[in-house]
Amino acid sequence: MTATPHPRRVIWRLIDGKPGHENQTLGLVQAMQRQSDCRVIDIPVAPLRLTGWRALLSWLLRRFPRQPDWPAPDWIVAAGHATHWPLLCAQRACGGRTVVLMKPSLPLSWFDHVVVPEHDEVSGANVISTRGVLNPMRPGDKVPGSALALVGGISKHFGWDNASVLRQLVTLREAWPGLRVTDSRRTPAALREQLREAFGDACQPWEQCPPGWLAAQLAITEVVWVSEDSVSMIYEALTAGCRTGLLELPANAKPGRLVRGIQTLVAQGRVVRYSVWQSGEALPAGNGLRESDRVAGHLLDSHPTVAVRSVT
Reported as a single tens digit per residue, the pLDDT across 253-284 is 666 777 888 888 999 999 999 999 999 999 99
The helix/strand/coil state of 143 is strand
Same domain, 130 and 214: no
127-130 and 272-273 strand pairing: unpaired
pLDDT value for 259: 82
pLDDT value for 114: 97
Give the count of domains, the chain.
Answer: 2
pLDDT tens-digit series, residues 221-255: 999 999 999 999 999 999 999 999 999 998 776 66
CA atoms within 13 A on the CB side of 255: 13
Query: Which tops the pLDDT comparison, 304 or 50?
Result: 50
Same domain, 130 and 219: no
pLDDT tens-digit series, residues 167-191: 999 999 999 999 999 999 999 999 9
- Percent helix / strand / coil, the chain, rounded to 5: 40, 20, 40
Same domain, 110 and 68: yes
Look at residues 174, 173, 187, 169 and name the one whose alpha carbon lies nearest to residue 247.
169
Same domain, 109 and 162: no
Angle separating helix axes 162-175 and 189-199, nearest 10 degrees: 20
Same domain, 124 and 147: no
Assigned domain for 91 exists: yes
Q: Are 48 and 12 in contact (CB under 8 A)?
A: no
Mean pLDDT of 194-220: 94
Same domain, 48 and 64: yes
Mean pLDDT of 104-130: 94
pLDDT at 138 over 90: yes
pLDDT at 305 over 90: no
Query: Which tops the pLDDT comparison, 139 or 1?
Result: 139
Same domain, 175 and 120: no
Same domain, 199 and 274: yes
Same domain, 156 and 263: yes
High-pLDDT (> 90) share of the chain, %? 80
pLDDT at 115 over 90: yes
Assigned domain for 284 exists: no
pLDDT value for 304: 76
Phi, psi of 222 (to 5 degrees): -80, -45
Which domain does 82 fall in, by range?
A: 2-136+292-310
Assigned domain for 255 exists: yes
Mean pLDDT of 98-106: 95
Q: What is the pTM of this model?
A: 0.88
Domain harbouring 150, CATH code: 3.40.50.2000
